[in-house]
Amino acid sequence: MTTDSESIRRIFNAIAPVYDDLNDQMSFGLHRVWKKMAVDWVQSTPGDRVLDLCCGTGDLAFLLARRVGSSGKVYGLDFSANQIAQAQKRDKKRAIRWMVGDALALPFPENYFDGVIQSFGLRNVVDISVCLREIRRVLKPTRQAVILDLHRPDNLEWSRFQQWYLEQRVASLGRERGLEAEYAYIAPSLERFPTGAEQVRLAKAAGFLHARHLPLIGGAVGALILSF
């Protein structure tokens, strides 16, 4: 089972060129709907300074840039240099500050951001509690952080469907691109990922006063909404 940060970084560096295409195919485009919902929950307004943490190729950063406008600032940070390189290629307007960095040691001062968003990233950090504390540290009081990720559904039928889907469609898509081993990482990452209720507990232990978890698509996806 892959659990160390360097092994996970190698996976995301390897899949960077096909990351966007496979996300569309694996989710039938639904990941874009979930990301738009997450951006709505962050409640960014023009002039805000916001962070897309574990930004990948930048989907959420681009959505946030539209919300905060020319007077705002958007930062996109990821530990994969190849993912950041793909994001920079997409950023034709050079509107976003892209950074290679560590979600467990964010290079920002306290109370720096008006909003933080993390999409399909918390499941891939090696210490979830530290990551949550870092998000809490850099977020301004009363503002929101939103964490979107895959989960193991509580419902048995949904869980069986997810397992079948990962073993059949996702494995096939990875195999077609010579990345079967990289995409096989998803299933064990879900097994060790805390449930929604556990995430709420961890968030409150990290200093968030308000934490709620919203299950989506039968609980196969969930959003953790945080503030203090």
Q: Domains of the chain (ranges plus CATH)? A: 5-150+194-227 (3.40.50.150)
Query: Which residue(s) pair with 148 in the sheet?
Result: 119, 223
The 49-53 sheet, strands edge to edge = 97-100, 73-78, 49-53, 113-119, 139-150, 221-227, 210-216
Q: CA-CA distance, 20 to 125, in Å (whole number)?
A: 20
Whole-prediction pTM: 0.91
Question: Which two tokens mark 167?
Answer: 């073993």
pLDDT of residue 1: 44
Q: What is the largest CA-CA distance in the chain?
A: 47
Alpha helices in 2-122 (DSSP H): 5-15, 19-27, 30-42, 59-68, 81-90
Cβ neighbourhood burial of 49 (10 Å; 0-12, 13-18, 19+): middle
Angle, nearest 10°, between helix axes 59-68 and 30-42? 40
pLDDT of residue 75: 98
- Write out the chain's pLDDT in tens, 228 residues: 456 889 999 999 999 988 888 888 888 889 999 999 999 999 999 999 999 999 999 999 999 999 999 999 999 999 999 999 999 999 999 989 999 999 999 999 999 999 999 999 999 999 999 999 999 999 999 999 999 999 999 888 899 999 998 888 888 888 888 888 888 889 889 999 999 999 999 999 999 999 999 999 999 999 999 999
